């Protein structure tokens, strides 16, 4: 496997392009937080390779133009003292304080998230730590009511055994369910309407019946929530906005 990098210019902004040549049977392209990823098979001739890269870059350019918000996906959020955000209908305020410590800490007091930042920490370290710290303290606040909601939905629709429940920060998944009955829900869903949270919970609980995404699984979800596609559409449209 080999990797090269290039740049795609879109509206005066430079987007990184990561080109991987590897053992595979097809070529594919995707747009992620860090830029554009192109994966090519070894067997392409130099001309085929350049044509495929050009086609993928053209597709990416048109996608960025059609969806301008995509180009900002990878940019870290700027955290400032006094920033407010809304979760579960409640407004929270972020309070940042530099302290002579070696570790990041946070606590919640009257809907104020107090985050202490080591004076010697850099911007990258802060950008990584702050969303996880916010997630951790609000997860403690909402864990019990959401756990009770999960148990209620399980009793209402499924009657299965839920072995464990976790409310934690995840980037890629809204939720997950193991064969052992362990269910995880992302704290990012706290930004979503209650009916969207209900849908994700029902989705994961349905995996206790069908541990896959077969037609039978989706029929089970629809049995519980006939309008579940409305919640799917909400997540596709607003999901990127749901983050700390």
- pLDDT of res. 11: 83
Give the relative orientation of helices 215-224 and 228-238 as an angle to the nearest 10 degrees.
100
Q: Are 60 and 16 in contact (CB under 8 A)?
A: no
Sheet of 90-99: strands edge to edge? 84-87, 90-99, 112-118, 105-109
Lowest mean pLDDT among 32-36, 55-59, 224-228: 32-36
Q: Where are the beta strands (DSSP E) in 42-129?
A: 84-87, 90-99, 105-109, 112-118
Q: What is the DSSP letter of 4?
A: E
- In this model, does residue 75 exceed pLDDT 80? no
Q: Is the pTM here over 0.85, yes or no?
A: no
Match 């009657």 to its residue by tokens.
159
Backbone angles phi, psi at 158, to 5 degrees: -125, -45
* Residues 155-206: tens digit of each pLDDT: 999 999 999 999 999 887 899 999 999 999 999 999 999 999 999 999 999 9
- pLDDT of res. 35: 86
* Residues 101-158: tens digit of each pLDDT: 899 999 999 999 999 999 999 988 998 899 999 999 999 999 999 999 999 999 999 9
- pLDDT of res. 70: 78
d(CA 142, CA 88) in angstroms, rounded, equals 9
- pLDDT of res. 76: 63
Q: Are 17 and 5 in contact (CB under 8 A)?
A: yes
Radius of gyration of the chain, Cα coordinates, nearest whole angstrom: 22
* Residues 216-235: tens digit of each pLDDT: 999 999 999 999 999 999 99
- In this model, does residue 78 exceed pLDDT 90? no
* Residues 160-173: tens digit of each pLDDT: 999 999 999 988 78
Q: Are 166 and 209 in contact (CB under 8 A)?
A: no
């Amino acid at each position: 496997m080999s990797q090269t990098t290039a740049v795609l210019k879109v509206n005066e902004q430079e987007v990184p392009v990561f080109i991987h040549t590897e053992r595979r049977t097809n070529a594919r392209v995707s747009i992620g937080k860090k830029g554009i990823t192109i994966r090519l098979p070894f067997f392409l001739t130099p001309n085929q390779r350049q044509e495929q890269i050009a086609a993928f870059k053209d597709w990416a350019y048109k996608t960025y133009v059609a969806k301008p918000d995509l180009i900002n996906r990878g940019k870290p959020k700027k955290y400032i003292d006094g920033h407010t955000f809304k979760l579960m209908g409640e407004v929270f305020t972020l309070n940042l304080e530099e302290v002579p410590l070696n570790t990041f800490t946070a606590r919640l007091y009257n809907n104020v998230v107090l985050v202490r930042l080591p004076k010697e920490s850099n911007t990258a370290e802060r950008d990584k730590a702050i969303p996880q710290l916010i997630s951790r303290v609000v997860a403690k606040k909402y864990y019990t009511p959401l756990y009770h909601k999960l148990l209620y939905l399980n009793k209402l629709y499924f009657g299965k055994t839920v072995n464990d429940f976790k409310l934690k920060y995840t980037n890629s998944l809204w939720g997950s369910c193991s064969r052992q009955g362990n269910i995880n829900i992302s704290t990012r869903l706290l930004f979503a309407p209650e009916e969207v949270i209900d849908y994700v919970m029902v989705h994961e609980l349905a995996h206790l019946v069908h541990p896959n995404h077969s037609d039978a699984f989706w029929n089970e979800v629809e049995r519980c929530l006939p309008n579940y596609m409305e919640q799917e559409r909400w997540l596709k449209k607003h999901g990127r906005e749901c983050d700390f």
